[in-house]
Chains A and B, each alone.
Chain A
């Protein structure tokens, strides 16, 4: 079982450009999450989806959008990247509740110049 895959592994992006970070899980989990990880700030929730077709805002949603067209995929889009969005992005999933174990992907390192 692959679990959660993320693509790309890393990316350098010019400010103002758009980009979509991809996330796919093969565990048929209902809930999926996007976090960003920054030194000294830990992991912060950007957006979440508790089931296909629904999404919600986390702690730091500004500048990001998500969609959940099906159970397996949960892409994160930066419409117009800014340097403050330089970070490592992790996708995660859980069976259904936030009190279920969250399984994390390997992360995408994004640098916005």
Chain B
């Protein structure tokens, strides 16, 4: 089955700096890679996603890159703000309903 590894597990950055979270996956059939943000006491919320026919996608301060050959994808947050502090999850989806595999999460702390 699919295996998704996510690094780092915790990340502290100064406000205004950039943050990068990396994920690798094992199943070459995976073709959809969403990123979720989970604030304390809430459910995960989709913040950006990328499909296998695209190498990069940006949405304001957030960007995601995908390298299918190396089977890794990354989340980039620029100009971080305190409200970016949360747990971020990557996921890989290979088409089947049962084939949605999440990483273990990265706790991001933005220090004012």
A binding-site residues for B, Cβ under 8 Å:
4, 31, 33, 35, 40-45, 48, 50, 56-59, 90, 92, 98-99, 101-107
Contact = CB atoms under 8 A, between A and B. Distances in A.
B95 A90 contact: no
Contacts of B99: 98
B96 A98 contact: yes
Nearest to B51: A99
Contact of A42 (B31, B98, B103): B103
A56 B45 CA distance: 24
Given A43-B89, A57-B98, A59-B98, A101 B34 contact: yes
B104 A41 contact: yes
Interface residues of B, number: 28
Nearest to B31: A99
A103 B43 CA distance: 9
Main DSSP-derived SS at the A contact region: strand
A106 B6 CA distance: 23
A90 B100 contact: no
Nearest to B103: A42
A99 B32 contact: yes
Contacts of A33: 97, 100
A99 B105 contact: no
Nearest to B99: A98
A104 B36 CA distance: 10
A56 B97 contact: yes
Contacts of B66: none
